[in-house]
Amino acid sequence: MPVRLPFRPRRDAYPPDLWTKCPGCAEMLFNKQLDKTLRVCPHCSHHFRISAKARIEQLVDPGSFVERDADLTPVDALGFVDLKTYPDRLMAAQLATGLRDAAVWGLAAMAGKPISMCVMDFGFIGGSMGSVVGEKVARAGEAALAERIPLLIVSSSGGARMQEGTYSLMQLVKTMSVVERVKAARVPFISVMTDPTTGGVFASFAVVGDVNLAEPNALIRFAGDRVSAGTIGEELPPGYQRAEFWFSHGFVDRIVPRARLRDEIISLLGFLIAPLNGHSEPPTGPTSRSRSFLNALTGARSGDGNGDSRASETGQTRGEATNG
Ligand SMILES: [Zn+2]
């Protein structure tokens, strides 16, 4: 029989499933309200991390996503044990997320146009890239090549999966070899970097899209401060690991708030996909067309790609728990 306490719970004890505290502005946010704003804080525009499922729902035409290779499951090839065994970690992550591994790929449509897409889920062992994640990225690329439809990859990853050792590092080569073939075949590739995009994912496919988009204030970097500073032998400028810094240095083409992400990708696809009838086909290739389109957009909306300064200042310590 449950014990009944003679007093009411404290008023500041918010039920965790009802409220979320914003790490950007410390405001308590009602979860239902937060879902309506696509999990972006209405006060400081902090972009919360979202699951692969939620991301797909936000981006593609309703009901159009058909998942492929949902049952692709990682194996413990090395018999890896840290504080727990790798199979135990996998099982815990699978129970928590309902996924087999940290990426979901499939075919979908955006404004009626078919795409091949792969979305990473940070909730599954930090979105780390092991053999299954690499394989799904590669298969999404292969499908884009075979069907000649655009490739969309949404990254959210701490990097390589330590528990798969060298197998994990091999995914950098595997994913990049497919992406290079996609690009050589002039099939459009849009990369979306969300918080965080670091380590081996940053070092492979995430920053080589024909168009690289990022969410405001997303953590984007290869390694942590100490490793980066130690490697190049000098102090790094403040904020170097945020989307806005990469944007100002040309690595990121656009910083797009989540509410505009679907529309922005759709308009990019309109520029990147050559029309089927030859009459209105522009003379230049997909990449140069996208660049001039981006320049036009940047000119028209100058200043709106910088995100929210408050979120930038307060968000510096978020997302440190990455996997390498
Ligand atoms: Zn906030």
Find the 25 Cα to ligand 1 centroid distance in Å.
4
Question: What's residue 178's pLDDT?
Answer: 98
Q: How many CB atoms lie within 10 A of CB 216?
A: 24
Question: What's residue 315's pLDDT?
Answer: 37
Q: Per mean pLDDT, which range of 41-50, 156-165, 186-195, 287-296 is the poorest?
A: 287-296
Structure tokens given for 212 = 């690289």
Find the 199 Cα to ligand 1 centroid distance in Å.
27
Q: What's the maximum distance between 2 C-alpha atoms anywhere in the chain?
A: 79
Find the 143 Cα to ligand 1 centroid distance in Å.
39
Find the 197 Cα to ligand 1 centroid distance in Å.
21
Find the 41 Cα to ligand 1 centroid distance in Å.
5
Find the 48 Cα to ligand 1 centroid distance in Å.
9
Domain borders along the chain are 15-44, 50-314
Topology classification of domain 50-314: 2-enoyl-CoA Hydratase; Chain A, domain 1 (3.90.226)
What's the mean per-residue pLDDT of the chain?
86
% of residues, the chain, pLDDT over 90? 73
pLDDT at 156 over 90: yes
pLDDT band at 229 (very low <50, low <70, confident <90, very high): confident
Q: Are 99 and 128 in contact (CB under 8 A)?
A: no
pLDDT in tens, 32-65: 999 999 999 999 999 999 999 999 999 999 999 9
Question: What's residue 303's pLDDT?
Answer: 43
Find the 21 Cα to ligand 1 centroid distance in Å.
8
pTM equals 0.81
Find the 69 Cα to ligand 1 centroid distance in Å.
37
Gap between the Cα atoms of 168 and 165, Å rounded? 5
Find the 320 Cα to ligand 1 centroid distance in Å.
19
pLDDT in tens, 64-76: 999 999 999 999 9
pLDDT in tens, 258-284: 999 999 999 999 999 876 544 444 444
Find the 273 Cα to ligand 1 centroid distance in Å.
37
Find the 261 Cα to ligand 1 centroid distance in Å.
19
pLDDT at 314 over 50: no
Find the 2 Cα to ligand 1 centroid distance in Å.
38
- What number is the average pLDDT over the span 142-161? 97
pLDDT band at 17 (very low <50, low <70, confident <90, very high): confident
Find the 96 Cα to ligand 1 centroid distance in Å.
26
Find the 243 Cα to ligand 1 centroid distance in Å.
18
